[in-house]
């Protein structure tokens, strides 16, 4: 299985020049904790998280009405091609201090986002299927 098969394809995005308040309002409305920040060619340049807003904008006393997303986002975005096997994707996640990876297409453009929670959910479903298979194969006593 590949990162492209597991990732979420509907991703909310921001631009580097967007104001933090605008981005935060979109995050609130959609009830999400992050936005992928894209350049004009739809290539990921960073991720803006609710933690970035809290620690790099609010805690530092910056005005979210004036501060641009580029000033507080986590950059660069950590990306994996959508063809990357999920095992390699997990190995990549272990080496970074984040729970999300941006998934890109062959041209390096945004294809989706993969959160650690998505992988855990997949593993739980696979474990459940294996359990049901084993239960069917138990010999009758």
* Angle subtended at Cα 113 by Cα 52 and Cα 123, rounded to the nearest 5 degrees: 110
For residue 128, the model assigns a pLDDT of: 72
Sheet holding 34-38, edge to edge: 13-14, 34-38, 44-49
DSSP 19: B
- DSSP-assigned beta bridge partners for residue 34: 49
Distances (CA, A) of 63 to 22, 71, 114, 136: 12, 11, 30, 61
Structurally, how many domains does the chain consist of?
1
Q: Could you list the residue range(s) of the whole structural domain that residue 41 is in?
A: 3-137
Sheet holding 110-115, edge to edge: 79-81, 100-104, 110-115
For residue 68, the model assigns a pLDDT of: 98
The answer to whether 113 touches 101, Cβ cutoff 8 Å, is yes
CATH number of the domain at 119, please: 3.10.580.10
Using 50, 70 and 90 to split pLDDT, how confident is the model at 138? low
For 39-74, write each residue's pLDDT tens digit.
Answer: 999 999 999 999 999 999 999 999 999 999 999 999
């Amino acid at each position: 299985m590949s990162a492209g098969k597991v990732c979420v394809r509907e991703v909310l995005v921001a631009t580097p020049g967007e104001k933090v308040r605008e981005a935060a309002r979109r995050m609130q409305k959609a009830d999400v904790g992050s936005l992928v920040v894209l350049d004009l060619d739809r290539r990921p340049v960073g991720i803006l998280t609710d933690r970035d807003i809290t620690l790099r904008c609010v805690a530092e006393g910056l005005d979210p009405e004036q501060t641009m997303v580029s000033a507080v986002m986590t950059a660069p975005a950590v990306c994996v091609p959508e063809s990357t096997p999920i095992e390699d994707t997990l190995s990549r996640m272990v080496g970074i201090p984040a729970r999300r990876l941006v998934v890109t297409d062959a041209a390096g453009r945004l294809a989706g986002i993969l959160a650690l929670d998505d992988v855990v959910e997949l593993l739980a479903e696979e474990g459940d299927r294996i359990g049901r298979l084993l239960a069917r194969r138990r010999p009758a006593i």
